[in-house]
Amino acid sequence: MTSFTDDARIAFDNLSDRASGLVNPTIRLGVTGLSRAGKTVFISSLVHNLLHGGRLPLFEAVQSGRVSAVRLEEQPDDSVPRFQYEDHIKALVKDRIWPDSTRAISELRLTIDYQSASGWSRFFSPGRLSIDIVDYPGEWLLDLPLLAKDYRTFSEETIALARSGIRTELSRPWLTLTDNCDIAAAADEMRARELATAFADYLKACKADERSLSTLPPGRFLLPGDLDGSPALTFAPLVLPPAGKPEKGSLWAMMERRYEAYKSVVVKPFFREHFSRIDRQIVLVDALQAINRGPEAVQDLERALTDVLACFRPGTNSLLSSLLGRRIDRVLVAATKADHLHHESHHRLDALTRRLVDRAIQRIGMAGAGIDVMALASVRATREATVKRDGHELPVIVGTPIEGETISGETFDGIRKTAIFPGDLPEDPSALFESIEAGDSAIRLPDVNVVRFRPPSLEETGGGIKLSVPHIRLDRAMQFLFGDRLA
């Protein structure tokens, strides 16, 4: 996946990080997720709750009173954009709108002063931990498996997937161009651009809300940034006939060269400069959206999670591995938007996500490698209530739908609150997954109401200071991800 030169640079970066860590103990926390899972919201809420003394009963260091101060500091990497926490929290708290989603890598340093729980450790430890939060799009993570695939393998797998299920219709314009393409013809820039545009349109259609598919590499076709229009992003998969590989100067050779350039220019630098330096990782997924979109979206989410988890190097760090090629010793997979369900269904969302992840772990042999699963809500946008219907009490959630949201034919203005029955998830997801795998045409997925609510209105204290952002299990996530480093 990497060259000797890449490995040497990774080792040098790790040695530099460890040397710096002797003076200022630091942990690099990677935050990523699949489309619209709430990465920006998670980071903003985590920082806001630590800075403003939020309710964190399961975060031991805070609950026991051992944390004395929390502050933002300058990040160590001057070449990486800063995560604009202040702008995002203003959108959440003051404007009550959801901040823009992650479109590029960013970083933020949060430093915690604390008193160790051990008297012996208090004697030696500086009682300070810096958490470098690295925010990056999940689409970039799904690119890492490309490092181990040549262009032919990438083309075969991508085209086979495009000819399956609901992707068949979405990919028809692109595959029609591909099928009518002479790959042995001379390289043609306009033909390459036409194929690349059609391929990118197919990926965007798969990602759209009404489908919510997850396995969509190459990720930069969805988030091109400053590489938009470059040769490294102007390629597409092609079908190689049994006759053999076309000669140099052909359309195939052109596409193959650009695919390799994509790996060299886009994927390898991300792996070398950022991903290989991460200590802990959280992967956020919107499992409710996948369930709401149907069996193929659920299967695609499971496929994406398998690809994502296969990218990590889980395990305990030895002295040598921590110096030359550190491992990610804790990975948390979190299903977001738990506030869209009544609390009675939270453990069911947890079980469903665990089933998705357990199968991925078994397939790639990562059992017992410091992986946990939970359902959470980084920002709780609803409250719970009960209503009476036909003499029975029905659990509901209450919130303010965003402007333009339509529920049962009624369009909301972004001001008026409403109560909805959120639906139920199965107690045991095994039967559901068995039906999906068997291709049961009569399968009926749980009826879950996925409504887009506005962020909550926060009350103010007597001094005019707004309370911390409400959440569900954010403290449990903190405890798993870095609580042990504050012991």
Q: Within this chain, do residues 478 and 366 fall inside the same structural domain, yes or no?
A: yes
Evaluate whether residue 295 is within a structural domain: yes
Q: Within this chain, do residues 121 and 170 fall inside the same structural domain, yes or no?
A: no
Q: Within this chain, do residues 304 and 349 fall inside the same structural domain, yes or no?
A: yes
Structural domain boundaries, residue 282: 4-136+276-378+472-486
Q: Within this chain, do residues 292 and 247 fall inside the same structural domain, yes or no?
A: no
Q: Are 85 and 47 in contact (CB under 8 A)?
A: yes
pTM for the model stands at 0.88
The phi-psi region of residue 75 (left if phi > 0; otherwise alpha if psi is between -120 and 50; otherwise beta) is beta
Q: Within this chain, do residues 148 and 265 fall inside the same structural domain, yes or no?
A: yes
Q: Within this chain, do residues 129 and 29 fall inside the same structural domain, yes or no?
A: yes
- Report the sign of the C-alpha dihedral through residues 440, 441, 443, 447, in that order: positive
Evaluate whether residue 121 is within a structural domain: yes
- Tally of structural domains, the chain: 2
Q: Within this chain, do residues 232 and 348 fall inside the same structural domain, yes or no?
A: no
Query: Of 269, 304, 330, which closes a domain?
Result: 269
Evaluate whether residue 100 is within a structural domain: yes
Query: What type of residue is 171?
Result: S
Q: Within this chain, do residues 111 and 192 fall inside the same structural domain, yes or no?
A: no
Q: What is the CATH number of the domain that holds 76?
A: 3.40.50.300
Evaluate whether residue 479 is within a structural domain: yes
Separation in Å, CA 4 to CA 11, 146, 310, 324: 10, 18, 22, 13
Q: Within this chain, do residues 265 and 131 fall inside the same structural domain, yes or no?
A: no
Q: Within this chain, do residues 228 and 298 fall inside the same structural domain, yes or no?
A: no
Q: Are 235 and 255 in contact (CB under 8 A)?
A: yes
Q: Are 285 and 223 in contact (CB under 8 A)?
A: no
Q: Which of 199, 214, 306 is nearest to 259 (CA)?
A: 199
Query: What type of residue is 452?
Result: R
Evaluate whether residue 52 is within a structural domain: yes
Query: Of 238, 269, 300, which closes a domain?
Result: 269
Evaluate whether residue 426 is within a structural domain: no
Evaluate whether residue 298 is within a structural domain: yes
Evaluate whether residue 442 is within a structural domain: no
Q: b/e per residue, 358-376, with b = 16+ CB within 10 A? A: eebbeeeebeebbbbbbbb
Query: Of 251, 269, 287, which closes a domain?
Result: 269
DSSP output for 177-228: HHHT--TTSBP-HHHHHHHHHHHHHHHHHHHSTTT------SGGGTS-GGGT
Q: Within this chain, do residues 263 and 280 fall inside the same structural domain, yes or no?
A: no
Look up residue 268 and give its two tokens: 């390898």
> Which 8-state DSSP code applies to residue 378?
S
pLDDT in tens, the chain (487 residues): 555 555 555 455 555 555 555 558 999 999 998 777 899 999 999 999 999 999 999 999 999 999 999 999 999 889 899 999 999 999 999 999 999 887 889 999 999 999 987 765 555 566 899 999 999 988 888 899 899 899 999 999 999 999 999 999 999 999 999 999 999 999 999 999 999 999 999 999 999 877 888 888 999 999 888 888 899 999 999 998 776 778 899 999 999 999 999 999 999 999 888 888 899 999 999 998 888 888 888 889 888 888 888 887 554 443 334 444 567 888 999 999 999 998 888 999 999 999 888 877 776 666 555 889 999 999 999 999 988 877 788 889 999 999 999 888 889 999 999 999 888 888 888 888 888 877 776 677 777 878 899 999 987 665 555 678 999 999 999 999 999 999 8
Q: Which pLDDT belongs to residue 361?
A: 78
